[in-house]
């Protein structure tokens, strides 16, 4: 399954450049034209042609949906230039009108190839090919910085890719979910709730969850399946007997070899499997990870399926609860349940993946925020310290993957215990600082950094800008990106909405800080002199305030201001600082007798703060270049406005 | 003879009617000629009128133009407040107003005058509307924007012989450009020099035409009619700010509903020392000046 998703990722997408004029090979047809691009020197082309393609499983798909043709790249070199062809052998797929849709490069085995071709034909039949056309309509983006347009377009492209992934893998087109990624679904749901996600994201999540809940094996659901010997009741009996039971072997012997749509919900014991049974899987197998099921609980709760969520909770506590959370963690070892009972009994301690341990604990803390402390205090052999008391140094250890830390930060931030929030804030602050200093061992793939940035945004909103800045150049392509987008949406969204001070709505200034966070250059706790050396083009001539940066700026966090008596205040509230001395002006400003406004008199005025016009460092009179005067009419008196 | 006379009469009447019909078709504005006063039009009549005017305007401008007329609302009394210490004489309001309202560009028609006054002499009649400077504000000068005051007791309305100008219930003094005969009595009556006359066909390049137009506000005027500030009623009646306020870089202009005690204009009028122009005339202007 992993291989399939990797392959899906390598599907090249046609760009806006038109394919070279193709040989008359491709004609409009009932079936989809599929051209194998081959060459005499290409070894894998020969393997594909002579060994893979003749296989019945591949032939079945080809006969059903495709018009198969072969093109020799040596005699017609135009084929080598076709969009998306990275190497031979190449499989180029057209739509029925002969328009180039996509290109698969490289060799694939018969099972993968047939599955892939089947999937593509299915999607094209269902009209999902629109996605591919849309993609080519967008020009490639050169920068992925936080500028609104670039980020938006990048998101759009990424979201479309995700949508395709969901459909192909997680149960689209009426089929039960085969391999839903509960974390991805949860994050997409969060993104949708934060706002900004297209409607179809929520639709896709709902559909997948519904199909996962409804989908079981047709046999388990009591539907007849041609060629299968046992009834549903019998199969349930076999499943309950487990691998040791005598029915078990019998049941396996009678399973058909290929049935990809068996669903992931366990109607017997509760909980969700990680995968639906497919080729190479015994059915039913019992790989129900604690981590997955914990996420399913959150997902079901968020979508309002409380009954099903309760069932999964019961399953998790029943199955993993007796031996404490550590047992759950052990059960989360992906290999644990694939072993035979004999092999399993030989293992004194199942190997525990520390990252998974951390994640499982963190997700458990998210599911039961009231038992946060107890859940995070569980320890394991490879993770000697409790997550509850984890220090900054622990977080730096290589055992802590950034994504796991991200989830932990979120869990801590959501804990019922008040000290957990403070802990999360401290940790997030430390990580951000180390991160921007380049001191964190963060040589991981970008997916995980997205997750970490999202965690920081949740745990310490004032550092969100720096975290977003740190991942700004990472292409959005990962499954963790929805979490980041949801966090960013909340953060950036809050910086585009007017800030509120009592009944006054203020045009926010903090959006600028998101783009260029002060902390990017300035150390935390940097002194006034260091701040001064930052190279800003400003002079300080505000009477009596020279060399007193810390009077207004918070030295520990340059993204915030400080007001005596009130502590940390946002840059959106700078008028409070000015008003501390210029109180009369502030009173005028508050009733809008002074200052610029936008918006509308009816739908609400949006006010500009003092610093939009007045330079707080060098206040002084404002000068403008006026618009040209009216041309004096030829017959007008020298001072036409003067009539007396 | 009688037959011949009757026949002649009949033929001449036919001829007259045919000629009249031809003349009306030629001008293609029979409906415009024979319609009733704008205030007496029914909703259906107005709808037809707007559709006809929109079609004409679109054809003339070469771009789709929609002419409407948002109605005045109850409980709304529009007013301006001008912060004279904030006004720096940038004339941004003047140009934004002309652009918003499709004012003729050659010769230029502008609703707002920004007067440059010597500091300490608060006499608008001594102000210079034609000051030219590289940098404002100039030393020793203050600036005062002047435009239609939308008086509660408007002399211009009383002067108009055709009822082409009147005061709406939200306080905006409007002009029906189709009803105006161009006699310019209102201009003579206005003590604030707020009204402008189109001596020529207003020249607005096609690319400068603002397609959002109102019947009583910024639709394109013909030659020979009077026009003036209408508080951007096509914007303000939709809840927006007038174009001059949006353009002002210093926030010298305040606009709102005087009837709402929580609005900023009501608060300013209540708490600041405001004055109006030529108070002694009893016109009761709706533009209040103050030093913030």
Q: What is the pLDDT of residue A3?
A: 36
Residue from the list A594, A630, A642 with its beta carbon closest to the beta carbon of B108:
A630
For chain A, how big is the Rg over CA atoms in Å? 31
Q: Is A379 exposed, middle or buried (0-12, 13-18, 19+ CB in 10 A)?
A: middle
Interface pTM, i.e. ipTM: 0.85
Contact flag A644-B193 (C-beta cutoff 8 Å): no
Residues A624, B136: C-beta atoms closer than 8 Å: yes
CB environment A232-247: b (16+ within 10 A), e (fewer): beebbebbeeebeeeb
Rounded to 10 degrees, what is the CA torsion of B217, B220, B222, B225? 20
pLDDT at residue A167 greater than cutoff 60: no
Tokens of B87: 């006004």
SS3 label, residue A184: helix
Strand, coil or helix: A455? helix
Q: Does A613 contact B at CB distance below 8 Å?
A: yes
Residue with tokens 């893998």: A169
CB–CB of A641 and B128 under 8 A?
yes
- Summarize the confidence of residues B174-198 as an average pLDDT: 95
In three-state secondary structure terms, A641 is coil
| Residue A634 contacts B where some CB pair is shorter than 8 Å | no
Q: Which of residues 160-199 of B touch A (CB under 8 A)?
A: 193
Are A171 and A186 in contact by the 8 Å Cβ rule? The answer is: no
Is residue A493 scored above 50 in pLDDT? yes
pLDDT at position A475? 52
Q: For residue A596, give the nearest of B108, B251, B290 by CB distance.
A: B251
Mean pLDDT across the stretch A475-479? 55
Q: Is A240 in CB contact (< 8 Å) with chain B? A: no
State the best of B238, B254, B271, B289 to mutate against chain A, taking most chain A CBs within 10 Å. B254
Q: Note the pLDDT of residue B109.
A: 92
User: Does the pLDDT at position B185 exceed 90?
Assistant: yes
pLDDT attached to residue A85: 72
Q: Give the closest residue to A166 by CA, choosing from A198, A133, A195.
A: A198
Q: Is the pLDDT of residue A57 over 60?
A: yes
Restricting to B residues 218-257, those with a Cβ less than 8 Å away from any Cβ of A are: 236, 238-241, 245-246, 248-251, 254-257
Q: What is the mean pLDDT of residues A282-301?
A: 74
A50 close contact with B: CB closer than 8 A: no
Residues of A in contact with B245 (CB under 8 A): 597
Question: Pseudo-torsion of CA B109, B113, B116, B119, nearest 10°?
Answer: 170
For residue A613, the chain B residue with the least C-alpha distance is: B250
Could you say which of A593, A603, A624 has the minimum Cβ distance to residue B272? A593
Find, among A498, A437, A485, the residue nearest to A458 by Cα: A485
Neighbour-count burial of A138, counting CB atoms closer than 10 A to its CB (0-12 exposed, 13-18 middle, 19+ buried): middle
Report yes or no: B121 at the A interface, CB cutoff 8 Å: no
Interface test with A, best of B128, B251, B266 (most A CBs within 10 A): B251
- Note whether A596 contacts B250, CB cutoff 8 Å: yes
| Choice between B264 and A394, residue whose per-residue pLDDT is larger | B264
What Rg value do the Cα atoms of chain B yield, rounded? 23
Contact criterion met (CB below 8 Å) for B66 and B54? yes
Q: Would the CB atoms of A623 and B241 count as touching at under 8 Å?
A: no
| Contact criterion met (CB < 8 Å) for A625 and B271 | no
From A459-463, B11-15, B46-50, the region with the lowest mean pLDDT: B11-15
- Convert A412-428 into a string of H (helix), E (strand) and C (coil): HHHCCCHHHHHHHHHHH
Task: Report angle CA A625, A631, A634 to the nearest 5 degrees.
Answer: 160
The answer to whether the CB atoms of A601 and B263 lie below 8 A apart is yes
Q: What is the C-alpha separation between A393 and A611, in angstroms, rounded?
A: 41
Alpha carbon of B22: minimum distance to chain A alpha carbons (Å): 41
- B18 in contact with A at a CB cutoff of 8 Å? no
Residue A92: strand, helix, or coil? strand
Which of B130, B171, B243, B266 has the most A C-beta neighbours within 10 Å, making it the best mutation to test the interface with A?
B130
C-alpha B132/C-alpha A628 separation (Å) is: 7
Coil, strand or helix at B143:
strand
Q: Are B251 and A597 in contact (CB under 8 A)?
A: yes
Most confident option among A527-531, B69-73, B121-125 = B69-73
Burial of A223 (0-12, 13-18, 19+ CB in 10 A): exposed
Residues B290, A593: C-beta atoms closer than 8 Å: yes
Decide the pairing of beta strands A66-72 and B226-227: unpaired
For A135, how many CA atoms within 13 A lie in the half-sphere containing its CB? Answer: 20
Peptide bond into B217 cis (omega under 30): no
Task: Please report the pLDDT score of residue A501 as a whole number.
Answer: 82
User: How far is C-alpha A169 from the chain's CA centre?
Assistant: 16
- What number is the average pLDDT over the span B231-254? 94
The single-letter DSSP state of residue A389 is T
Share of chain A above pLDDT 90, in %: 7
Provide the 3-class DSSP secondary structure of residue B33.
helix
In terms of CA atoms, which chain A residue is nearest residue B246? Answer: A598
Give the gap in angstroms from C-alpha A624 to the nearest C-alpha of chain B. Answer: 5
Q: Do A592 and B267 touch (CB under 8 A)?
A: yes
Residues 6+ apart with CB under 8 A from B282: B153
According to DSSP, the β-strands at B173-175 and B165-167 are antiparallel
The two tokens of residue B193 are 């020099």
CA distances in angstroms from B281 to A68, B155, B192, listed in the order given: 93, 10, 11
Q: Which residues of A602-614 are buried (b: 16+ CB within 10 A; e: fewer)?
A: beebbbbbbbeeb
pLDDT, tens only, A630-641: 877 666 555 544
Confidence tier at A514 by pLDDT (50, 70, 90): low
Alpha-helical runs (H) found in A170-305: 182-194, 199-214, 232-241, 246-253, 290-303
Window A:572-601, CB contacts with B under 8 Å: 588, 591-601
pLDDT digits (tens, 9 = 90+) for A60-89: 888 888 888 888 888 877 777 776 676 788
pLDDT recorded at residue B142 = 94
Q: Would you call B130 and A622 a contact, using CB atoms and an 8 Å cutoff?
A: no
């Amino acid at each position: 399954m992993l291989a399939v998703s990797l392959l899906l990722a390598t599907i090249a997408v046609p760009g806006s450049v038109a394919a070279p004029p193709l040989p008359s090979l491709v004609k409009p047809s009932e079936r989809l034209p599929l051209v194998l691009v081959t060459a005499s020197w290409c070894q894998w082309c020969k393997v594909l042609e002579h060994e893979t393609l003749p296989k019945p499983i591949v032939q079945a798909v080809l006969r059903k949906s495709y018009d198969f043709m072969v093109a020799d790249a040596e005699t017609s070199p135009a084929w080598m230039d076709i969009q998306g062809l990275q190497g031979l052998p190449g499989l180029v797929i057209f739509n029925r009108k002969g328009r180039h849709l996509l290109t698969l490069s490289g060799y694939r085995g018969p099972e993968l190839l047939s599955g892939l071709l089947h999937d593509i034909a299915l999607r094209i039949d269902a009209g999902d090919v629109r996605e591919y056309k849309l993609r080519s309509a967008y020009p490639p983006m050169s920068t992925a910085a936080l500028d609104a347009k670039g980020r938006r377009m990048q998101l759009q492209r990424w979201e479309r890719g995700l949508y395709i992934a969901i459909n192909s893998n997680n149960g689209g087109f009426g089929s039960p979910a085969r391999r839903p990624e509960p974390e991805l679904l949860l994050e997409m749901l969060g993104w949708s709730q934060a706002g900004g996600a297209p409607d179809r994201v929520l639709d896709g999540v709902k559909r997948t969850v519904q199909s996962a809940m409804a989908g079981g094996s047709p046999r388990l659901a009591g539907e007849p399946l041609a060629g299968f010997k046992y009834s549903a009741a019998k199969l349930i009996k076999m499943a309950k007997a487990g691998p040791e039971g005598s029915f078990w072997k019998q049941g396996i012997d009678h399973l058909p070899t290929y049935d990809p749509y068996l669903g992931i919900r366990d109607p017997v014991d509760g909980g969700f499997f990680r995968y639906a049974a497919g080729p190479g899987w015994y059915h039913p197998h019992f790989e129900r990870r604690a981590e997955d099921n914990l996420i399913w609980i959150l997902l079901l709760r968020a979508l309002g399926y409380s009954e099903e969520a309760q069932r999964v909770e019961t399953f998790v506590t029943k199955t993993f609860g007796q031996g404490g959370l550590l047992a759950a963690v052990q059960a989360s070892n992906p290999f644990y349940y694939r072993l035979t009972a004999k092999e399993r009994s030989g293992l004194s301690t199942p190997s525990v993946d520390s990252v998974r341990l951390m994640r499982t604990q963190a997700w458990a803390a998210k599911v039961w925020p009231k038992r946060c402390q107890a859940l995070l205090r569980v320890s394991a052999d490879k993770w000697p310290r409790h997550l509850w008391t984890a220090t900054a140094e622990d977080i730096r250890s290589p055992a802590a993957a950034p994504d796991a830390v991200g989830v932990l930060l979120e869990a801590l931030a959501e804990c019922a215990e008040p000290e957990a929030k403070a802990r999360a804030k401290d940790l997030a602050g430390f990580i951000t600082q180390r991160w921007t200093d380049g001191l964190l061992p963060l040589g991981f793939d970008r997916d995980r950094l997205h997750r970490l940035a999202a965690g920081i945004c949740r745990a310490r909103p004032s550092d969100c800008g720096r975290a977003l800045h740190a991942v700004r150049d990472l292409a959005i392509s990962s499954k963790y990106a929805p979490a980041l987008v949801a966090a960013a949406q909340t953060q950036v969204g809050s910086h585009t909405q007017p800030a509120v001070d009592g009944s006054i709505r203020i045009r926010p200034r903090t959006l600028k800080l998101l783009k260029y966070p002060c902390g990017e250059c300035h150390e935390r706790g940097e002194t006034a002199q260091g701040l001064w050396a930052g190279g800003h083009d400003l002079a300080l001539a505000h009477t009596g305030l020279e060399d007193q940066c810390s009077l207004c700026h918070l030295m520990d966090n340059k993204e915030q201001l400080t007001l005596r008596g009130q502590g940390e205040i946002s840059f959106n509230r700078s008028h409070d600082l000015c008003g501390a001395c210029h109180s009369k002006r502030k009173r005028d400003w508050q009733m809008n007798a002074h200052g610029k406004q936008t918006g509308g008199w009816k739908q609400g005025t949006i006010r500009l703060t003092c610093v939009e016009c007045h330079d707080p460092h060098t206040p002084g009179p404002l000068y403008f270049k006026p618009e040209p005067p009216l041309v004096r009419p030829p017959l007008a008196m020298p001072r036409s406005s003067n009539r007396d | 003879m009688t037959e011949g006379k009757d026949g002649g009469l009949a033929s001449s009447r036919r001829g007259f009617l045919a000629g009249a019909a031809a003349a009306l078709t030629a001008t293609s504005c029979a409906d415009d000629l024979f319609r009733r006063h704008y205030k007496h039009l029914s909703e259906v009549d107005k709808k037809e009128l707007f559709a006809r005017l929109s079609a004409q305007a679109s054809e003339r401008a070469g771009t789709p133009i929609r002419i409407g007329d948002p109605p005045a609302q109850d409980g709304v009394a529009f007013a301006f407040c001008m912060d004279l210490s904030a006004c720096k004489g940038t004339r941004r309001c003047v140009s934004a107003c002309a652009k918003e309202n499709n004012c003729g560009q050659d010769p230029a028609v502008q609703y707002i005058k920004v007067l440059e006054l010597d500091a300490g002499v608060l006499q608008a009649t001594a102000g210079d509307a034609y000051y030219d400077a590289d940098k404002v504000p100039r030393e020793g000068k203050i600036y005062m924007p002047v435009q239609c005051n939308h008086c509660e007791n408007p002399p211009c309305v009383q002067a108009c012989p055709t009822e082409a100008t009147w005061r709406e219930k939200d306080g905006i003094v409007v002009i029906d450009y189709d009803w105006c005969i161009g006699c310019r009595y209102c201009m003579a009556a206005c003590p604030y020099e707020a009204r402008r006359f189109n001596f020529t066909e207003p020249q607005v390049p096609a690319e400068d035409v603002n397609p959002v137009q109102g019947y009583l506000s910024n639709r394109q005027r013909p030659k020979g009619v009077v026009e003036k500030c209408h508080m951007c009623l096509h914007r303000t009646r939709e809840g927006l700010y007038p174009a001059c306020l949006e353009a002002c870089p210093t926030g010298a202009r305040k606009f709102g509903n005087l009837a709402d005690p929580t609005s900023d204009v009501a608060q300013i009028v209540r708490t600041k020392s405001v004055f109006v122009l030529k108070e002694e005339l009893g016109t009761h202007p709706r533009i209040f000046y103050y030093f913030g």
